[in-house]
Structures are given as structure tokens and as C-alpha cells.
Amino acid sequence: MRVIQVAIDDTLLGEVNDLAKSRGSSRAAIIREACKEYVRGLEREALERRYAEGYRRKRESPMVGKLGERMAQEVWPGETWDGL
């Protein structure tokens, strides 16, 4: 693991310190986890964009949409349907 230096404003530093203290963790662990979550979020956003773009390029046929709607309206025994 490498050690880096990052400039951070006093307010955010105080929040990170408080969070680390309340969780019984280190400031470095909080910052590492925040960075991991940020990167994961960017990856999720990229996948969602690719997914949406795929549907824009190749749309579902209207029949698939109607079938999905019909299936969504089916109620299994013991379930209730309140509509959308």
C-alpha cells in the first residue's frame, strides 16, 4: 500500500475525523472506503449508460413490452395487486 498526501479543507477534515472516531476506525480507512465507493459509483454509472445506449440502439419489440406488462399484472396466490 502506498502513502499519499491530499490537501483537504478543515471542515471536511473535521467531519472525516468525527466519522472515524464514531466508527472506531482510522481517518485513512474512512478515506480509502470513500475513494472505493466513488470509483464503484463511476463504474455503475458507466454500466448504466452502456445499458441505456444498448436499448436506444436496439429497442424491444412492442410485443415484448406487452408480454412484460401482462406478466407484471399477474398475482400469485397469497399476493395482492395494488396497481402501479
The pLDDT tens digits for 26-82 are 999 999 999 999 999 999 999 999 988 887 887 767 777 788 777 777 767 666 666
pLDDT the model gives residue 81: 62
Task: Pick 1 or 77 by higher pLDDT.
Answer: 1
Q: How far is CA 10 from each of CA 13, 14, 16, 29, rounded to the nearest angstrom?
A: 5, 6, 10, 18
For the chain, which residues make up each domain, given as ranges?
10-73
pLDDT the model gives residue 68: 77
Question: String of b and e for 43-68 (b: at least 16 CB within 10 Å)?
Answer: eeeeeeeeeeeeeeeeeeeeeeeeee
Q: How confident is residue 83, by pLDDT bands cut at 50, 70 and 90?
A: low
Q: Which amino acid is at 3?
A: V
Helix/strand/coil for 60: coil
pLDDT the model gives residue 73: 76
